[in-house]
């Protein structure tokens, strides 16, 4: 169980500023918000429900913060993968996406498989790293 009131006033102020600043990265602000809620006495299950996350995610954010402070919390850590699509294929995909509204990633994966012969997992996407950079 995570005990509340573990943040110092300075730590709390830093996290509150992060949550309130509009230009802060959304993911960092969510992690800061979760840490503040833990400090307020909310439990991981409640916070996960509020943020539509898994409670283990909240626990891992807390552990990251406890072990590495603000720097660990602010570090996303997601590196992405190298795209298996060529630059031309990415352009075609971007044009296709801009011309329609896809209700699920399944539609996009089906298109990529049919158009380019690339299979992908549900969670792994198409191996495309931010193909539509200008959007």
Asked if 65 and 87 sit in the same domain, the reply is: no
Asked if 91 and 68 sit in the same domain, the reply is: no
pLDDT value of residue 2: 87
Asked if 47 and 31 sit in the same domain, the reply is: yes
CB 55 within 8 A of CB 48: yes
Could you tell me the residue range of the domain that residue 126 belongs to?
A: 80-135
Asked if 86 and 62 sit in the same domain, the reply is: no
Residues 6+ apart with CB under 8 A from 65: 31, 35, 72, 73
- Considering the entire predicted model, what is its pTM? 0.54
Q: Among candidates 125, 126, 57, which has minimal Cα distance to 89?
A: 126
Residue 129's CB is within 10 A of a number of other CB atoms, namely 15
Low-confidence ranges of the chain (pLDDT < 50): 123-135
pLDDT value of residue 24: 58
Asked whether residue 4 is assigned to any structural domain, the reply reads: no
pLDDT value of residue 41: 95
pLDDT value of residue 124: 47
Q: In this structure, what token pair is assigned to residue 86?
A: 């060529």
pLDDT value of residue 81: 62
pLDDT value of residue 135: 35
CB 127 within 8 A of CB 120: yes
Asked if 68 and 121 sit in the same domain, the reply is: no
Asked if 23 and 69 sit in the same domain, the reply is: yes
Asked whether residue 2 is assigned to any structural domain, the reply reads: no
Asked whether residue 133 is assigned to any structural domain, the reply reads: yes
């Amino acid at each position: 169980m995570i005990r509340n009131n573990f943040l110092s006033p300075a730590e709390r102020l830093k996290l509150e500023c992060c949550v309130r600043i509009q230009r802060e990265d959304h993911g960092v602000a969510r992690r800061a918000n979760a840490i503040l809620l833990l400090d307020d006495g909310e439990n991981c299950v409640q916070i996960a429900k509020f943020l539509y996350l898994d409670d283990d995610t909240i626990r891992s954010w807390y552990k990251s913060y406890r072990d590495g402070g603000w720097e660990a919390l602010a570090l996303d850590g997601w590196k992405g993968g190298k795209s298996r699509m060529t630059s031309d294929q990415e352009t075609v995909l971007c044009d296709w996406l801009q011309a329609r509204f896809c209700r699920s990633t399944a539609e996009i994966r089906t298109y990529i498989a049919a158009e380019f012969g690339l299979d992908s997992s549900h969670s792994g996407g198409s191996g495309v790293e931010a193909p539509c950079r200008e959007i």
